[in-house]
Amino acid sequence: MAHYFISRHIGAVQWFKQQGIEIKQHYPHCSDISIFKKDDVVYGNLPIHLVAILTKHGARYFNLVLDVPSQLRGKELTGADFEKCNPRFIEYKVIAKNTMDVVK
């Protein structure tokens, strides 16, 4: 089992380092999730379709959630800004349904 962090945001990286979570690798972006294995733990922000694949293959995903006030939206946040936005991780398990399963 390995821990990974995915975020392009400098403030997120600064804040994450202060959390004391030992990670194997930080990725600013990730489109190839085949690098993650069963029982790996991934923190950060990923598109939902990639989270579905991760959880299907037995990895755990913790989304970085912030309560960003309107005056900070659209700005690059510092580590100090992150602290003001109630940062936390919420674990998600996503199950993708085949579009053929949708009732028309």
pLDDT digits (tens, 9 = 90+) for 25-46: 999 988 788 999 999 999 999 9
Which residue stretches of 1-74 are H helix? Answer: 10-17, 48-56
Strands 41-44 and 60-65: what pairing? parallel
Higher-confidence residue of 103 and 84: namely 84
79 vs 81: CA distance, rounded Å:
5
Average pLDDT over residues 82-103: 81
Buried b (16+ CB within 10 A) or exposed e, 64-100: bebebeeeeeeeebebebbeebebebeeeeeeeeeee
Q: Is the pLDDT score of 87 beyond 70?
A: yes
Q: Tell if the pTM clears 0.75, that is, is over it.
A: yes
The CA distance from 54 to 82, in Å, is 26
102 pLDDT band, cuts 50/70/90, is very low
